[in-house]
Homo-oligomer: A and B are copies of this chain.
């Protein structure tokens, strides 16, 4: 129970609307990963003590108690496990049907999303009925004549998606000041279901000075087999390669440094690209451990939290941002968020955002390491890919 005591009016959870995807479960741990987990635990004595306490009770329970029961009782328990397996099959069928229902409603939502697209991008004006329906009780219905000089007014709703993203608790933290210049060109964020379990997020952009992609997509794949309780389980995510225009890659920073050759005493300018924080790193998702170019034990904990964040961002875009974008744009959706999420950690980071500290922080790190690395080869900290522009 990590819920802060809040007014009773806060939603209990913001879980996805229906069919669930969860992170991979214990049953799917490879031996290698168990070792990684053990390594993590070794660094966290408090966690170890908690888990041991719990496991101690558990082990006492299963290896002591159940094994001590008469065979006929144990046979009954085994029989119940058999019954439970039938139940699990039905639960998986249920989740499958929920997913089909989700798809059915997604088809019903789609015309509304298309209408939103047209209004946001100035292809169409909203109808009288839409405006009437959207007017709060007691408010005056806005004039439809638009006899003002509309030519002087920007078409559609400028920066609609950027503003919506900046009001979203989780997404806002990934958007840097530099990113905003590119995210202004967003014309749509939408999604589609895959043939296999999973979904694809589609970011559509107007022509811009940053990259040539018309759309950039991010695809979340679920495991083929349902997990405990029938839930879908995340397998991995993949993102499109962004075709950055020269010098415009927002996920890196270029550093220049004078270097003196110790023998010839000649100086030269060395340029290197250094990865920086950016929303666009969302399209280069972390790779789960066990995959080909997975991590090593040292950065496992960091990888873990990056995977966690990647799932959360994808889920927030699918379940919150796309379904209710105008409420995120106006900020009204925020009142339905768990206060939980507005924790001090978040708040600090928000404040920092304005000063763009992440780049600064990295600067320091990179300056230090640079001294030892005279090769001029771009360093690749963490698991982030370093994209040359």
Using a CB-CB cutoff of 8 Å, which residues 1-19 of chain A contact chain B? 1-13, 15-19
Least Cβ–Cβ distance between A64 and chain B, in angstroms: 11
One of A90-98, A193-201, A359-367 contacting the partner: A90-98
A46–B287 Cα distance when bound, in Å, is 36
- Say yes or no for A357: interface residue by CB 8 A criterion: no
Q: A93 — nearest CB in chain B belongs to which residue?
A: B105
Bitwise interface map of A from 302 to 342 toward B, beta carbon under 8 Å scored 1, else 0: 01110111011000000000011111011111111001111
Bitwise interface map of A from 1 to 44 toward B, beta carbon under 8 Å scored 1, else 0: 11111111111110111111111111111000100110010000
Contact of A75 with B25 in the complex, beta carbons under 8 Å: no
How many copies make up the complex?
Answer: 2
Contact of A62 with B330 in the complex, beta carbons under 8 Å: yes
Contact partner of A25 among B11, B37, B304, B309, CB < 8 A?
B11
Contact of B13 with A326 in the complex, beta carbons under 8 Å: no
User: What residues of B have a CB within 8 angstroms of the CB of A82 in the complex?
Assistant: 126, 129-135
- Say yes or no for A179: interface residue by CB 8 A criterion: no
Using a CB-CB cutoff of 8 Å, which residues 209-227 of chain A contact chain B? 227
Q: A28 — nearest CB in chain B belongs to which residue?
A: B9
Least Cβ–Cβ distance between A172 and chain B, in angstroms: 9
- Say yes or no for A73: interface residue by CB 8 A criterion: yes
- Say yes or no for A143: interface residue by CB 8 A criterion: yes
Q: A4 — nearest CB in chain B belongs to which residue?
A: B47
* Dominant secondary structure at the A interface: helix
User: What residues of B have a CB within 8 angstroms of the CB of A27 in the complex?
Assistant: 335
Contact partner of A144 among B20, B75, B305, CB < 8 A?
B75
A76–B312 Cα distance when bound, in Å, is 30
Least Cβ–Cβ distance between A83 and chain B, in angstroms: 5
- Say yes or no for A81: interface residue by CB 8 A criterion: yes
Contact of B108 with A72 in the complex, beta carbons under 8 Å: no
One of A49-57, A181-189, A255-263, A370-378 contacting the partner: A49-57
Contact partner of A326 among B53, B70, B72, B81, CB < 8 A?
B81
- Say yes or no for A178: interface residue by CB 8 A criterion: no
User: What residues of B have a CB within 8 angstroms of the CB of A298 in the complex?
Assistant: none
Contact of B336 with A26 in the complex, beta carbons under 8 Å: yes
Bitwise interface map of A from 86 to 114 toward B, beta carbon under 8 Å scored 1, else 0: 11001101110110011001001100100
Contact of B134 with A37 in the complex, beta carbons under 8 Å: no
A106–B120 Cα distance when bound, in Å, is 43
Q: A80-B326, A82-B126, A101-B98 are in contact. Are A23 and B1 (CB under 8 A)?
A: no
Contact of A339 with B51 in the complex, beta carbons under 8 Å: yes
Contact of B324 with A131 in the complex, beta carbons under 8 Å: no
Q: List 14 A-B contacts (CB under 8 A).
A: A1-B312, A7-B37, A11-B231, A13-B13, A15-B16, A25-B336, A50-B347, A58-B334, A75-B143, A79-B126, A82-B133, A83-B126, A90-B108, A227-B336
Contact of A13 with B20 in the complex, beta carbons under 8 Å: yes
A342–B1 Cα distance when bound, in Å, is 8
Contact of B77 with A326 in the complex, beta carbons under 8 Å: yes
User: What residues of B have a CB within 8 angstroms of the CB of A246 in the complex?
Assistant: none
User: What residues of B have a CB within 8 angstroms of the CB of A116 in the complex?
Assistant: 80, 83
User: What residues of B have a CB within 8 angstroms of the CB of A342 in the complex?
Assistant: 50-51, 54
Contact of B146 with A75 in the complex, beta carbons under 8 Å: yes
Contact of A11 with B227 in the complex, beta carbons under 8 Å: yes
User: What residues of B have a CB within 8 angstroms of the CB of A132 in the complex?
Assistant: 82
Contact of B75 with A142 in the complex, beta carbons under 8 Å: yes
Q: A13 — nearest CB in chain B belongs to which residue?
A: B15
Least Cβ–Cβ distance between A262 and chain B, in angstroms: 43
